[in-house]
Amino acid sequence: MNSWLPFEWIVAVRFLREGRLQSLFIILGVAIGVGVIVFMSALLAGMQGNLFRRVLSSQPHITLERPKQQANMVLQNEPGQLIASTVQKPSQRVNIIDQWQKVRDQMEARSDVVAVSPAASGPALVVRGSATNAISLVGIEPDHYSKIVPLPEKMVVGSFRMTNTDMLIGIQLAEDLGVQRGDKLRVTTAAGASLTLNIAGIFDLGSRGANQRTVYVLLSTAQSLLNMVGGVSSIDLTVQDPYAAEVIAQSIANATGLNAMSWIANNSQFFLGMRAQTYSSLMIRIFVALSVAAGIASVLVVSVVQRQKEVGILRAMGGSRGQIMRIFLIQGALVGLLGSLMGSAFAMGLLSAWKLVAKNPDGTSMFAIQMDPQLFFWSALIAMLTGLLAAATPAIRAARLDPVVAIRG
């Protein structure tokens, strides 16, 4: 029945079948280890993906701004002194990027930049009756900005529709002022400009502060209110690889002379937390894999001791050292493969149970978990390789046994 199998495979399978209980326990151990690794990997990927989307869906990857003005050293005469120096701060002026259209074109030509959107922003006040709230007025080009921050997906009331007389406000600001879609608010700025705008929609950026402060209007409207006629205060970018945003930002800063602030620098604590979480999870998975390897190795060492006579007989019948070594390597690989298959099924059960248990108060899933087939494939491959490596020492020991000594026991 197994005549088509190589000699080493026949013997390896027979050894595993003879020690059924021993083989079953080590396969179950491998299955639990692989299941934990797959479950933790999928859970961490889903959790980090959810946090990543929440953080980046409300801000650009990189923001370009005009460089800060430097303080000037002024030399002057003082009574009783020949010369004294004082630091004189430059006078404040509107924060406008020089030749921003040229910078925008340069950014659009970069292969690592996906989307570019100019913006004009500044402080302002919204007034409704006797109520006044300080806001951050942001002028945008809707078609371009929606590729940076998906505002259409964040609208809870109204639609992402903007004209020169429209504004979009956050849910917290709407609650504070007691307004709704269709109401009007007067916007005033430090430049002395004032304009009454219609609330076209209400959004939720997922942050109380942003929902309370941020107000979106058309770029031309903000330019007029903030005295930035024809100018912009920043250029927002989305890049191909968000994790490379800091490196790309430094490259852009060197090329343009502008301040380039990446989301990584703006959210350094969040980024460090993500890194720490990734490293701690990696260490746990490594130790689980090591414990699995140690279990396989210990069982195969015992198997070599138990089967010294069989190994001696095989050697006496003409079996080579290489064949003996391959018998135990195949055992290790089979244990790793069978354990990984059972572990993958175990992990799928855990992930399904997690989806049923981990829910938000409204009944929706806490975060999406993708059962990536590649994760199961690589886990099976790594488990099989772990089995091979764990079997290496017992296999070498078996191959070095002297046939006469082994038969005598």
Exposed, middle or buried by CB within 10 Å (0-12, 13-18, 19+), for 317? exposed
User: Dihedral sign, CA of 302, 303, 306, 307?
Assistant: negative
pLDDT value of position 312: 73
Q: Is the distance from CB of 188 to CB of 243 less than 8 angstroms?
A: no
pLDDT value of position 87: 52
Of the candidates 260, 226, 235, the one whose C-alpha atom is nearest the C-alpha of residue 68 is 260
User: How would you write the pLDDT of the chain (409 residues) with one tens digit per residue?
Assistant: 455 667 778 877 887 787 778 778 888 888 888 888 888 888 887 777 777 777 777 789 999 998 876 555 555 555 555 454 555 555 445 578 888 999 999 999 999 999 999 999 999 999 988 888 999 999 999 999 999 988 898 899 988 888 899 999 999 999 999 999 989 999 999 878 899 999 999 999 888 888 999 999 999 999 999 988 889 999 999 999 888 899 999 999 999 989 999 988 888 777 787 778 778 878 887 887 778 777 777 777 777 766 667 777 777 777 777 887 888 788 888 888 888 888 888 888 888 888 777 776 666 666 667 777 777 777 777 777 777 777 777 777 777 777 666 666 5
pLDDT value of position 105: 93
Whole-angstrom distance, CA of residue 218 vs CA of residue 193: 16
Please, what's the largest Cα pairwise distance for the chain? 111
Listed in sequence order, the residues at least 6 apart from 327 whose beta carbon sits closer than 8 Å to its beta carbon are 8, 11, 12, 15, 395, 398
Whole-angstrom distance, CA of residue 332 vs CA of residue 23: 10
Q: Is the distance from CB of 117 to CB of 234 less than 8 angstroms?
A: no
Q: Is the distance from CB of 332 to CB of 387 less than 8 angstroms?
A: yes
Residues in the chain: 409
Q: Is the distance from CB of 173 to CB of 147 less than 8 angstroms?
A: no
- What does pTM read for this prediction? 0.67
pLDDT value of position 1: 43
pLDDT value of position 91: 47
pLDDT value of position 64: 94
How many CB atoms are closer than 10 A to CB 209? 11
Give the CA dihedral 97, 99, 100, 106, nearest 10 degrees.
Answer: -130
pLDDT value of position 21: 80
What are the residue ranges spanned by the domains of the chain? 7-55+271-408, 100-257
